[in-house]
Structure 1
Amino acid sequence: MEQHATRVGEHSRGLRREIRCPLGRSRGRGRVRRGQGRVRTQARTQARSRGLRGVALVVAAAALALGLAPAEAVPAALSTASGLSGAATGPGSRADAASIPTGACALGGPERGGTYEGLPTPAGFARSQGTVKALTLFIDFPDAPAWSNSPSDRFAEFFPAATRYFDRSSYGKLAYRPTPHLRWIRMARPFAGYRIRRGTGFDPGSRFGYGALSREIVNAVDASVDFAAYDVINVLASPDAGPEATDDVLSVTFSGGMGTPLETGDGVRFGNVSFIWSRQTGPSPFRVLNHETAHSFGLPDLYLGREDATRAPTGHWDLMDEGWGPSNDFLGWHKWKMGWLDAGQVDCAGLPGGSDHTLTPTGRDGGTKIVVVPTSPSSALVVEARENGELDQAVCRPGVLVYRVDTRTDSGDGPVRVADATPGSQGCYLHDVNVDADLSDATHQVGDTYQDARSGIGVAVTEQRADGDWRVRVTRP
């Protein structure tokens, strides 16, 4: 039986140095086997017709209580909401070709079967524009029953906040629509019986790990859920199952072309699926779900997975590095990769000589968001403006951020690295251990010039305009 390696995207590193667990930065990899894993169901049509009307009423009532429109939470089999025109539905579907970044600055790179920084995102990942339908399931265990929490309570820990986050970060281009299957699915064994740890993979033939968990989940709901109607899947575990998030971060996503080799009775894979464990700390703990879902959109982990890593390569400038503590937004490169920037919002500085650019901070609507300066077919410097705002609550030094993107670098190995404008400083955001303080003042100010030693490319900040936009000049040999 042929084996395939799948990238396992784990939630960002856990709490910062003072209270981070020893494995807080470890990167997980899952070994996946292709083959047996198809789940057969009996009397599917009859079961759906009997059960979905009652489920729809319960879900719609819960949606109203959570501030969602009822149509956003009605099972897809009964909903008239549609996704992107011409786009396929179901886990692993991609957006239409018109939304895919193209051009000389859309860096390619070797596809490794998992998440990476290259453009466009490979087939098999979920679309990240338009209406994205998210099936949300709930599991508990004999030794961690959800007695004190209803599925609606657990659902409300993430929604509608996670939906609002995607809406604001995408400038309204992503409508994330969760559909909760409002019952606890009791697993057959205690939590320890599945041997779930950080880095546990997905083997459909194993009695342990995520393969065993997923088989039970699919068997429990396959008769009443149309998996083909959804783009992504969230599995929310009872918060008492497994270790506290401050001790070990287990949340994980299986995404991409392979996803998982487990097939549902609807003929689609149980893929682009995130397992969310325990509870995060801080003012916006729901963002673990945004982080994990972004893996299903094709984004890699930006943190360093090595246990001996002592510094964040990107810090609090992107959710894929640090997802704890105060809210932080995605980098402009990631917004482009996910199709949230129009072609006119990306300047490509690929020719020798000098060029001038006006940047509107990424937290605002409209304007040019990034300048991409290629340094090789697979790497570039990216320039953007950042300021404190609704999603960027830890920005203590508004200014121009410069970072390097390398599409050849694996998830968890630092594919994006911020160029620190104040190397050696202690930073300016010092009152939250979940923020990498030494990069919090990494932005460049008027009069600053960043010179890239490898390429000779220079980025000079020439002006901050009265409207808050920034002017930069890029020079390249």
Structure 2
Amino acid sequence: MRGQQTPEGVERPRLRASAAAFTSLVALAATGLVAGPAVGAPTAGPCALPRTAAHHSLGLDTWNGSYPQPARSLDAVMIFLSFPDSTPLTSTDELAADHFPSTSEFFRRASYGRFALRPDTRREWTPMPQASTAYAIQRDWEAGKRAAYLKDAVAAVDDQVDFSRYDIVYLVADPDAPGVDSDATKVVNLESPLTADGTEIKRVVTVFERHPPDRNVLAHETGHVFDLPDLYHRPMDGKGDWDTHVGDWDVMGSQFGLAPDLFGWHKWKLGWLDRSNVICVQEPGTRLLSLETMAAAPVAGGTVGKRLAVVRTGTGTALAIEARGSTGNDQDTCTEGVLIYRVRNEAASGDGPVEVVDTHPKTEACWDRSVYPPLADAPLGVGESFTVPGEGARVEVVDRTPAGAWTVKVTLPEDT
């Protein structure tokens, strides 16, 4: 059965809800940090939506300085926590190998080599002072218990770890301890940061994964550390399909997706694409474009080429157009072609900031593998065209060159 997802978390067979604020540490798993300082974004242009106060806003004219921007190498520490009521059955080396180097490789490929996630995985278990059951770890985690867990973990390892050296903290619990609930894996954002080694710890990735873990789980959680939103649709009653917004097409929608590479819009936000890689389509009429496949590696010399086309449709909305193919992080994709999706800068994480346009609404694909078959065949193939409802923009895939680039014709009506 396909799993479900929760704010700042990952897909699970059961629902994982965000916890409430606690007295000494206010953890904001669903609502986010207070608005951080704006950092100029020289990659922005006329088609870049402005950043809003929405949690993990997809506006990208400025960067939220409360988050580390992965436009440079970042250092992460992975700390393994044991408990007095359980002897670990899995070694720290085995647990580290569950996540690295695969997570670093995911981001290296997604960033075209422009970002390196450098993990320092501790080799020893760090004993926690209380039994695993004492923390009442669960998907709906009581605030005081979670506060105690975080405080105890940092205090237990502080003599061995210099937190001032790291940009990201992963706390990995012994998966076989009786009180550990895998549904509790998430990023905890701290309005009142912890302090260790003179460093403010603003967020922690709490990992309670089984061994082996869900695929791409740490890439999803690390995306939140970089201010990326959840892209799934969360039914109000917890029932129904969670993948109706983006299907397989981004790891922030589903870590189980067949094509989990990050959308071009995300890559633009993170600084891995800049204005030289983005085509802003503004004028009415027809324009012929050439797009490189999003997940394809750069050509010789590190040239990334044109990867994303954007049509601004309103003050806070845009259409994004990109090519997806079976390479890199998308090597297991169900279909290849030109993908169209809507972006909204005022939609918070989990509220549909991105919606993939289904250009084949009467069909589906890969029902046995896809997280949401109706969107598995969403891209347009060569010779196909589609007029986006409500926008009037028409996208036609003219050709795919021997080198793999996609020739795309975009037509905007006079009133776009």
TM-score range relative to shorter protein: 0.7 to 0.9
User: Deviation digits for residues 352-410 of structure 1, max 9, x if unmatched?
Assistant: 33322111001112221110111112111100000112311332321000000111111
The one-letter code matched in structure 2 to 1:317 is W
| Equivalent of residue 198 in structure 2, options 267, 278, 281 | 267
Could you tell me which runs of 5 or more consecutive residues in structure 2 were left unpaired when the two chains were aligned: 1-5, 28-34, 299-303
Q: Residue 289 of structure 1 aligns to which amino acid in structure 2?
A: L
1:95–1:128 contact (8 Å) kept in structure 2? no
TM alignment of 1:3-402, pairs within 5 A: 9-11=8-10, 13-14=11-12, 20-21=13-14, 23=15, 28=18, 30-31=20-21, 97=40, 101-112=43-54, 114-119=55-60, 120-146=62-88, 148-200=89-141, 203=143, 206=144, 208-209=145-146, 211-241=147-177, 249-255=183-189, 259-279=190-210, 285=214, 287-306=216-235, 307-310=238-241, 311-324=243-256, 326=258, 328-364=260-296, 365=298, 366-402=304-340
**Structure 2 CA distance for partners of 1:139 and 1:426, relative to 1, 3 Å:** same
Distance between the aligned counterparts of 1:35 and 1:127, measured in 2? 24
What is aligned with 1:76?
A: none
- Kindly state the Cα deviation for residue 194 of structure 1 after the two structures are TM-superposed: 1.7
CA deviations on 1:67-111 (whole Å, 9 max, x unpaired) are: xxxxxxxxxxxxxxxxxxxxxxxxx999985x6531112211421
Contact map agreement 2:135 2:179 (CA 8 A) in 1: no
Task: Report how far residue 181 of structure 1 moved.
Answer: 2.7
- Mapped contact 1:430–1:437 kept (Cα < 8 A): yes
Change (3 A) 1:163 1:36: closer
**CA separation of 1:455 and 1:426: change in aligned 2, threshold 3 A:** closer
Q: Secondary structure at the match of 2:333?
A: coil
Change (3 A) 1:371 1:34: farther
Report the AA paired with residue 346 of structure 2: R
Output one character per residue of 1:324-369: Cα deviation in whole Å (capped at 9) or x when no partner.
2656211111111111113211111123333221110011122211
Match of 2:350 in 1: 412
Please report how far the alpha carbon of residue 29 of structure 1 lies from its aligned counterpart in structure 2 after TM superposition: 5.5
Change beyond 3 A, Cα 1:141–1:224 = closer
The TM-score with structure 2 as length reference comes to: 0.85
Instruction: String of CA shifts for 1:309-334, please: whole Å, max 9, x gaps.
Output: 42421011100111026562111111
Distance 1:371 1:217 in 2: 45
AA in 2 matched with 1:301: D
After TM superposition, the structure 1 stretch with the greater mean CA deviation from structure 2, 380-389 or 159-168, is: 159-168
Q: Tell me, what secondary structure is at the counterpart of 1:271?
A: strand
CA distance in 1, matches of 2:191, 2:80: 19
Alpha carbon RMSD of aligned pairs, Å?
A: 2.8
- 1:232 Cα deviation from its structure 2 partner: 0.9
Summarize deviations over 1:430-450 as a string: whole Å, max 9, x none: 333x63222111111223222
Residue 56 of structure 1 is matched in structure 2 by: none
Distance across 2 between alignment mates of 1:231 and 1:172: 19
| Contact 1:370/1:384 (8 A) holds in 2 | yes
Q: CA deviation at 1:178?
A: 0.6
**Distance of 2:63 and 2:390 partners within structure 1:** 27
User: After superposition, what is the alpha-carbon deviation per residue over 1:132-186, rounded to whole angstroms, capped at 9, x for unaligned?
Assistant: 100111112334431x222222112111121111111111011110112322222
In 1, the alpha carbon distance for the partners of 2:90 and 2:228 equals: 32
Q: Deviations over 1:253-292 (max 9, x none)?
A: 124xxx352422323222232111123768xx45211111
Pair 1:469-2:405 in alignment: yes
Aligned counterparts of 1:473 and 1:29: Cα–Cα separation in 2? 47
Amino acid at match of 2:137: I
Mean Cα deviation higher: 369-378 or 443-452: 443-452
Matched, 1:403 2:341: yes
TM-score, normalised to structure 1's length?
Answer: 0.75
Cα distance change, pair 356–325 in 1 and its aligned pair in 2 (3 A): closer
- C-alpha distance in 2, partners of 1:183/1:474? 56
C-alpha separation between the residues in 2 aligned to 1:349 and 1:242? 56
Calculate percent identity across the aligned residue pairs.
31
Give how far 1:295 is off.
0.4
- Helix, strand or coil: the match of 2:201? coil
Counterpart Cα distance in 2 of 1:244 and 1:440: 35
